Amino acid sequence: MELKEIQRRLRECVAASGIPQKEIAKRIGVSAQTVSKYMRKDVFPALDTFAKLCAVLDVKSDYVLGLGEY
């Protein structure tokens, strides 16, 4: 799976969550700019941060990574 597809799925999950990026950032312990970079730049979160992000968004990591269904 290409990083661009992972980012697209991540943007989709953030939008579906209804949680503002600023709040997501606070919950996972990063800046809002960093959350934005995860979705738009060639930046991928550390595994522990990715796990927290999936938990906050209530989405399976397999879906974001293109390995499973939503």
- For the chain, the domain total comes to 1
Decide if 26 is inside a domain: yes
Reported as a pLDDT band with limits 50, 70 and 90, residue 70 is low
Please, which residues have CB within 8 angstroms of residue 30's CB and are 6 or more apart in sequence?
Answer: 45, 49
Tell me, yes or no, whether 69 lies in a domain.
no
pLDDT tens profile 11-40: 999 999 999 999 999 999 999 999 999 988
The sign of the torsion formed by the CA atoms of 60, 62, 64, 69 equals negative
pTM for the model stands at 0.86
Q: What is the CATH number of the domain that holds 56?
A: 1.10.260.40
**Domain assignment of residue 12, yes or no:** yes
Q: Would you state the pLDDT for residue 3?
A: 85
Which domain range does residue 27 map to?
A: 3-63
How far is it, in rounded angstroms, from Cα 52 to Cα 46?
10
Q: Is residue 70 part of a domain?
A: no
Give the amino acid at 11: R
